Chain A
Amino acid sequence: MTAPAWLKTTGFYLLVGIIVLQALFPFYYAILTSLEDGQALFEVNYLPAVFDLSNYRSMLSDGVFGKQILNSVFVATVTVIISLFLAITASFALARIRFRGRGLLLLTILSVSMFPQIAVLSGLFELVRAFGLFNSLWSLVFSYMIFTLPFTVWVLTTFMRALPVEIEEAAIMDGASSFTIIRRIFVPLLWPAMVTTGLLAFIQAWNEFLFALTFLSTDSQRTVPVAIALISGRSEFEVPWGNIMAASVIVTLPLVVLVLIFQRRIVSGLTAGAVKG
């Protein structure tokens, strides 16, 4: 006995509806709240009632927040660039060059990402102090590699293994050096995979909270997740929900824009490896 077709279709879309609602409602509610002010904030409503940009105005005119966004952009971008560069050169070695302990090395790289952030925090703090990076954005670039590198190295190694060896050998016969082969052959072929992993690394770096809270001490150096968490009202009994929501929406937008720009690349990244000479 099978259910009638209309029941199946309705069931399917009902399920899709629930998933979409669950994923998007928090963000929708944040946007809604960010557009309200004063007493309206505390009235529960699910449809836009007022359209008031004063929260955004107050966040953006507050000099430090703009600087904090730039801090986040800097940290995430530099982390992604350095991670991808190190990962593509490392994955070339790990995928293509036979050496002793290659498997062990790959496992070690993976195990680095195994430790909870809180477990490495105090050790890292000492390192950051020793390098003189405390309260510098470079401390975050440095520490974020802990979670971006294992992931990018593994993904790119897998993709590089899938590329035919003969293409590389043809390039060797053509007189290309290892670095030229990486730059002219592997990077273009792995571009979709690099965009996908780079984007995920960017999101991780953008959202990171604990390291950013610990290694930076002044307001003008902070990145946005910490900055938002530390937004305070005029008195300790007031939580400025309007401002917090406006800031949350502002810092989500760059991610949405990035995903939209690279959307087609991400899809082709998932199906890459279908490169046949």
Chain B
Amino acid sequence: MASVELNNVCKSFGSVEVLRDVNLSLEGGEFIVFVGPSGCGKSTLLRLIAGLEDISAGELVIDGERMNDVLPARRGISMVFQSYALYPHMTVFENMAFGLEQAKLSPDEIKARIAQAAEMLQISDYMERKPRQLSGGQRQRVAIGRAITRQPRVFLFDEPLSNLDAALRVDTRLEIAALHKRLADTTMIYVTHDQVEAMTLADRIVVLNAGNVEQVGTPLDLYSKPASQFVAGFIGSPRMNFIGGEIAASQGAATFGIRPEHIDLSRKKGQWKGTVRLTEALGSDTFAHVDTETAGMVNVRLAGAERIGEGETVFLTPQPDAIHLFDDAGRPVRKARAA
């Protein structure tokens, strides 16, 4: 069980500051997901933990030990890269053995560890193949297998699913979740820009934006109690409706936020009157984009069976418990229901 702590960690490339005063405390065995838009510094943060980049200021502590100047291989960390980064000229077995040879393990120990990992990932059948003879999903398993054999304290994933096609991505996501259950003692840190991956995999999510930690919390925490307008917009799909102007001002806020699934739609009466401009039927749900008179374009979720025609006039009512209010700096405002 390895805890990971980041104390006031900063990173700059030349004069460009990529990460500012990051403070995080990860418990041993946790599955943590770093999520954020591209360029937010999430991959850099992962690379700092891995030791592939130097920490400009601050402290990285793993299991109570300061790691700033420890070599990557001595940190007890394994990493799965976005492009898998398998050694193209080595067989699957050699790929997995390389790190263990560097650690000077005995050949018997190496064989035993690889056999165990191969069985866990069901790759025992192609140990003698080269990476180019494998499919994308198989390469991904080999990359994970290579990371497992080193028996790391901390497991890092850098957008491991982004090179896979959609169907395989869901399968592999489930496998990674299963892997976390099996390796319950290993702390896992996972970087993605896909909030669905973040929500489904994480024990806790770290939302990053422009080098700052916006919020840390469980997936449902982030969903129901976003600490900023950015988090509210980033977590949840489709994204939350943000409404400015008078509706927000009447509640004492700069922005009024409501998720598509928290709006009631009626054909007879409601708070906002509008016309349906576009509908997206996904089977299980239908999303209606409604052009309202007072609130602008609002996206509403309807249960799957409900049908609505484009051009129809409808009334929308936000569910009062699910309203989020933000001030003009994007910070949440305490809900003032009476206002």
Q: Which residues of A contact B (CB under 8 A)?
A: 164, 166-167, 169-176, 180, 184-185, 188-189, 275-277
Contact = CB atoms under 8 A, between A and B. Distances in A.
B287 interface: no
Q: Which 3 A-B pairs have the closest CB atoms?
A: A175-B73, A174-B99, A166-B85
Contacts of B84: 277
B2 interface: no
Interface of B: 50-52, 71-74, 77-79, 81-89, 98-99, 102-103, 131-132, 139, 146, 150
Given A189-B89, A277-B86, A173 B98 contact: no
Given A174-B102, A276-B88, A277-B86, 16 more contacts: A164-B83, A164-B85, A166-B81, A166-B82, A166-B85, A169-B81, A170-B85, A170-B87, A170-B146, A171-B87, A172-B51, A174-B98, A174-B99, A175-B73, A185-B87, A189-B89
A141 B87 CA distance: 35
A12 to B, nearest CB: 36
B139 to A, nearest CB: 8
A102 to B, nearest CB: 16
B166 to A, nearest CB: 21
A172 B73 contact: yes
A189 B88 contact: yes
Contacts of A185: 87
Contacts of A174: 73, 98-99, 102, 146, 150
Nearest to A172: B72
A173 B88 contact: no
Given A173-B50, A175-B102, A175-B103, A167 B73 contact: no
Contacts of A169: 52, 79, 81, 85
A179 to B, nearest CB: 12
A174 B96 CA distance: 10
B85 A277 contact: yes
A275 B88 contact: yes
